[in-house]
Amino acid sequence: GAVVSQHPSWVICKSGTSVKIECRSLDFQATTMFWYRQFPKQSLMLMATSNEGSKATYEQGVEKDKFLINHASLTLSTLTVTSAHPEDSSFYICSARAVSGGAGYEQYFGPGTRLTVT
């Protein structure tokens, strides 16, 4: 149980184009999903918190117009990197938190998406 998938696993795009990354909770419903960015040999940097049916909450310094997040259902959240630049190249990981059950604290991570912007 508690499986989170992410698609694509890796993507290469040209500067100026947009890329959409999908995050799905496969066997549970997630009211909240989180999007992280991870640079090599560094920790997870929270970009935004996504709640189903409402606008995402972005962390300070994260451009909401550049990183568009949509949480359309209890099992799907998407991150769109718009007008990508080489500095957006990174490992993007989503995580999902269950609706209820237990204390509702546990977060389960997707496998990540390696984005390379050329």
Partner 1 sequence: GENVEQHPSTLSVQEGDSAVIKCTYSDSASNYFPWYKQELGKRPQLIIDIRSNVGEKKDQRIAVTLNKTAKHFSLHITETQPEDSAVYFCAAGSGYSTLTFGKGTMLLVSP
Residues engaged in binding partner 1 (CB under 8 A): 4, 32, 34, 41-44, 46, 49, 93, 97, 103-112, 114
Closest distance to partner 1 from the beta carbon of 29 (Å): 14
Closest distance to partner 1 from the beta carbon of 112 (Å): 6
What is the rounded CA–CA span in Å between residue 103 and residue 117? 39
Rank residues 34 and 67 by Cβ distance to partner 1 and give the closer one. Answer: 34
Rank residues 75 and 108 by Cβ distance to partner 1 and give the closer one. Answer: 108
User: Tokens for 56?
Assistant: 């995402």
Rank residues 21 and 93 by Cβ distance to partner 1 and give the closer one. Answer: 93
Rank residues 55 and 114 by Cβ distance to partner 1 and give the closer one. Answer: 114
Closest distance to partner 1 from the beta carbon of 16 (Å): 27
Q: Are 6 and 110 in contact (CB under 8 A)?
A: yes
Closest distance to partner 1 from the beta carbon of 105 (Å): 4
